[in-house]
Amino acid sequence: MSQLASKVKSDFPIFTNSDLIYLDNASTSQKPQAVLDTINSVYTKSNANVHRALYSLGAKATEEYEESRKKIANFIGADSEKEIIFTSGATESLNLLAYSLSSDLSPEDEILISEMEHHSNIIPWQQLAKRTGAKIKYIPITQNGELDLSESNNLFNSNTKIVSITHVSNVLGTINPIEKISSIAHQCGAIIIIDGAQGAAHKKINVKDLGCDFYAFSGHKMLGPTGSGVLWGKLNLLDQMEPFMSGGEMIDKVTMTSATWNEVPYKFEAGTPNFIQAIGLGAAVEYLESIGMDEITDHEKELTRYALDKLQKIHNIKIHGSGSNRIGVVSFNIENIHPHDLAQFLNEYNIALRVGHHCAQPLLSKLNETATARLSTYLYNDEQDIDKLCTALQEIIGYFK
Ligand SMILES: Cc1ncc(COP(=O)(O)O)c(C=O)c1O
């Protein structure tokens, strides 16, 4: 088994002097000291608003902010840091797209998403469909919890204008075949957007290899600060798009009656950006790179296999999804125990895992559930965490007998 957790756990202050078993990483991740130090250092040594001030402190903050943009561009294999727009998270990134792509759609157009999407990759498109009259279609999922692309000839057609798909399911852990979907989408002339909220944190990303046009992700799920997020997009597409929010710094010139826009990415960063969080995200990316994304993926895949093996031995457990290409997330139900009761009992063991619909109600209804329990791992989790969870589950099942 990988030794990664024992190597890195002491970097995360939340685990100091604590027997916390944190298995809710798909919701948010814990933060290493390096990220906390960076945030503290900006507040104490270089805090001034970015892109405005002419004094040295403002120049320092701006330099650190723009340096972070370069680190993130490099982290995901982007051609240029101009393609990196800082947002507050994947939700804002996806809303930005659904808003700014509005003018390209008409009633005969179709938006293609899938049955395994998070609400953040459903509702912005439903709202866009309401505004434009465009239709939403769903790629179905198989019994295994994988995307069913067998009917892709019907689903993808010349009316398909936008395809927006999650990289990794936040309920099933399925890793979707993004290269293949990007290629089909482009063959019918559609734009392809990837919701990378559960992808960039756990896998090495190269946006060019994925073949997508946009990739959205959240900083807080990948060791970075809350309120940090990214939208990557191809420069020529970003150039053509209308801004999402308007206000300070996103303009070129403003008169009493009109305004023209700043260049990309600033056109999409209206108002004071969350620059300290963005700088913190740069530190998180540096930390992840110092470990190595491939090592993190291997560790999590191994731990997921270990968790599946152990959970399957528990009586009356139903594990959702059995796809082979999966990572870090396992959802399950135990017969006759409501997931909310389970979570409360697990809390007594200091085990934190999420129960509920995971902001994926259409998927949960497909699974015939209203709620599941979901464990989700990261680089600091190990087999002992899984062992303790399984022992606790057995004891809780015993109380309910
Ligand atoms: C697949 C997926 N997409 C989007 C989001 C939204 O991310 P955020 O709440 O950080 O904006 C999440 C959050 O859990 C997610 O799992």
Q: Point out the residues that are catalytic.
A: 359
Do the bridges between strand 110-114 and strand 160-166 make them parallel or antiparallel, or are there none, so unpaired? parallel
Mutate to test the pocket of ligand 1, among 198, 215, 327 (most ligand atoms within 8 A of CB): 198
- In this structure, whether the domain defined by 35-290 belongs to CATH 2.10.25.10 is answered with no
CA distances from 41 to 125, 325, 336 (A): 39, 40, 50
Domain limits, the chain:
4-23+293-400, 35-290
18 confidence band (pLDDT: 50, 70, 90): confident
Look at 22 and 2; give whichever has higher pLDDT: 22
Which top CATH class is 4-23+293-400?
alpha beta
CA distances from 109 to 66, 136, 150, 173, 189 (A): 38, 9, 22, 31, 12
- In this prediction, residues 5-24 reach a mean pLDDT of 96
Q: Which residue's CA lies nearest to atom 15 of ligand 1?
A: 197
Identify the pLDDT of residue 116.
98
* Distance linking the first and last C-alpha atoms of the chain: 34
Establish whether residue 93 lines the binding site of ligand 1, counting it when its CB lies within 6 angstroms of any ligand atom.
no
The residue assigned the tokens 């152990």 is: 310
Report how far Cα 301 is from the mean position of its chain's Cα atoms: 18
- Shortest-distance atom of ligand 1 to CA 93: 11
The residue assigned the tokens 């970003």 is: 238
Distance 220 CA to ligand 1 centre (A): 10
Q: How many C-beta neighbours within 10 Å does residue 73 have?
A: 19
For residue 53, pLDDT beyond 90: no
For residue 25, pLDDT beyond 90: yes
Distance 259 CA to ligand 1 centre (A): 33
Distance, CA of 358 to CA of 331 (rounded, Å): 10
CA distances from 156 to 98, 113, 116, 168, 363 (A): 19, 11, 17, 21, 21
112 confidence band (pLDDT: 50, 70, 90): very high
Identify the pLDDT of residue 102.
84
- In this prediction, residues 60-68 reach a mean pLDDT of 97
Distance 229 CA to ligand 1 centre (A): 10
Distance 117 CA to ligand 1 centre (A): 10
The encoded tokens of residue 161 equal 């204008």
Q: Which of 344, 345, 343, 217 is nearest to 281 (CA)?
A: 217
Establish whether residue 121 lines the binding site of ligand 1, counting it when its CB lies within 6 angstroms of any ligand atom.
yes
Strands ordered across the beta sheet of 372-376: 317-320, 329-334, 372-376, 354-356
Mutate to test the pocket of ligand 1, among 118, 147, 178, 364 (most ligand atoms within 8 A of CB): 118
Burial class (CB in 10 A: 0-12, 13-18, 19+), 249: middle
Establish whether residue 89 lines the binding site of ligand 1, counting it when its CB lies within 6 angstroms of any ligand atom.
yes
The residue assigned the tokens 């807080």 is: 220
Contact 101, 109 (CB under 8 A): no
- Cα Rg of the chain (Å, integer): 22
- DSSP for 98-136, written as a single string: HHHTGGG--TT-EEEEETT--GGGTHHHHHHHHHH--EE
- pLDDT, one tens digit per residue, over 213-269 is 999 999 999 999 999 999 999 999 999 999 999 999 999 999 999 999 999 999 999
- pLDDT, one tens digit per residue, over 313-359 is 999 999 999 998 999 999 999 999 999 999 999 999 999 999 999 99
Identify the pLDDT of residue 2.
79
% residues pLDDT > 90 (the chain): 96
How much helix, strand and coil, in percent to the nearest 5, is found in the chain?
45, 20, 40
Q: Is 146 helix (H, G, I), strand (E, B) or coil?
A: coil
- Shortest-distance atom of ligand 1 to CA 221: 10
Establish whether residue 29 lines the binding site of ligand 1, counting it when its CB lies within 6 angstroms of any ligand atom.
no
Establish whether residue 198 lines the binding site of ligand 1, counting it when its CB lies within 6 angstroms of any ligand atom.
yes
Distance 91 CA to ligand 1 centre (A): 6
Contact 346, 389 (CB under 8 A): yes
- Which residues does 307 contact at the CB level (< 8 Å), separation at least 6? 330, 375, 377, 386, 389
Establish whether residue 176 lines the binding site of ligand 1, counting it when its CB lies within 6 angstroms of any ligand atom.
no
- In this prediction, residues 161-190 reach a mean pLDDT of 98
The dihedral formed by the CA atoms of 57, 63, 69 and 70, expressed in degrees to the nearest 10: -160
- pLDDT, one tens digit per residue, over 268-323 is 999 999 999 999 999 999 999 999 999 999 999 999 999 999 999 999 999 999 99
Is the entire prediction scored with pTM above 0.75?
Answer: yes
Distance 86 CA to ligand 1 centre (A): 16
- DSSP for 219-272, written as a single string: SGGGTS-TT-EEEEE-HHHHHHSPPSS-STTSEEEE-SS-EEEPPTTGGG--SS
Establish whether residue 195 lines the binding site of ligand 1, counting it when its CB lies within 6 angstroms of any ligand atom.
yes
Q: Which of 152, 72, 78, 73 is nearest to 112 (CA)?
A: 152
1 confidence band (pLDDT: 50, 70, 90): low
Q: Which of 261, 294, 238, 273 is nearest to 88 (CA)?
A: 273
Identify the pLDDT of residue 50.
96
Establish whether residue 166 lines the binding site of ligand 1, counting it when its CB lies within 6 angstroms of any ligand atom.
yes
The encoded tokens of residue 261 equal 């826009």
Establish whether residue 311 lines the binding site of ligand 1, counting it when its CB lies within 6 angstroms of any ligand atom.
no
Same topology for domains 4-23+293-400 and 35-290, yes or no? Answer: no
The overall average pLDDT reported for the chain is 97
CA triple 367-114-120, angle to 5 deg: 95
